Amino acid sequence: MNTFKANNQRCGRIAEWFYKAVNSRLGLEAAWVQKHISQCPRCQRRLASLGRLNLAFSLIKSQPHNIDLLMRANSRAISVLKHSLRYSIKAEKLKKIKPEPTMLDKFSKYQSTLVNTAACIAILLLMKTGFVNSARKVEDQSRSILKNYYARQVGQDMADEIFDA
């Protein structure tokens, strides 16, 4: 099983290396591609269009849509159908359909409140179980061990100065 995992990790690293190697020779960052784009007006227009398209997609993703987006898209799609299909019962239902928000969407406005409440409960449970107290004990013991080590290595006065400051 461990051999499989090691091989899988090795394959992942090789695939990543391969992607970087191919991209550096054939991707937009390759010197010959950059040189061609700087000299070719057609490719400059294509690259500009691609940039505008990427910007439009990122804006679409970042902005919330009205709940009637599905209904409007269906109405537009139905309007190009032939007459007999356009006025069928199913088409009328499609024109009026709206998506139902998921459970996550319904409770998204309470997200920060729920996260804060969960964090408070987690802290209370950790305090109740003594985890915080145990962590302090470990810290104090570690400090004491380090102080004793330094006292043996460089002298008690230096150790006191370092750890009591």
Q: Read off the pLDDT of residues 14-53 as tens digits, 9 standing for 90 and up.
A: 878 877 777 777 777 778 888 888 898 998 888 888 888 7
Domain boundaries, the chain: 1-63, 65-100, 109-163
Read off the pTM: 0.30
CB 95 within 8 A of CB 78: yes
Q: Which parts of the chain sit beneath pLDDT 70? A: 1-7, 60-67, 132, 165
Predicted confidence at residue 149, as pLDDT, reads 87
- Residue 107, helix vs strand vs coil: coil
Phi and psi dihedrals of 88, rounded to 5? -75, 165
CB 94 within 8 A of CB 80: no
Predicted confidence at residue 115, as pLDDT, reads 85
Sequence-distant contacts of 62-68: CB under 8 A, at least 24 apart:
67/98, 67/99, 67/101, 68/98
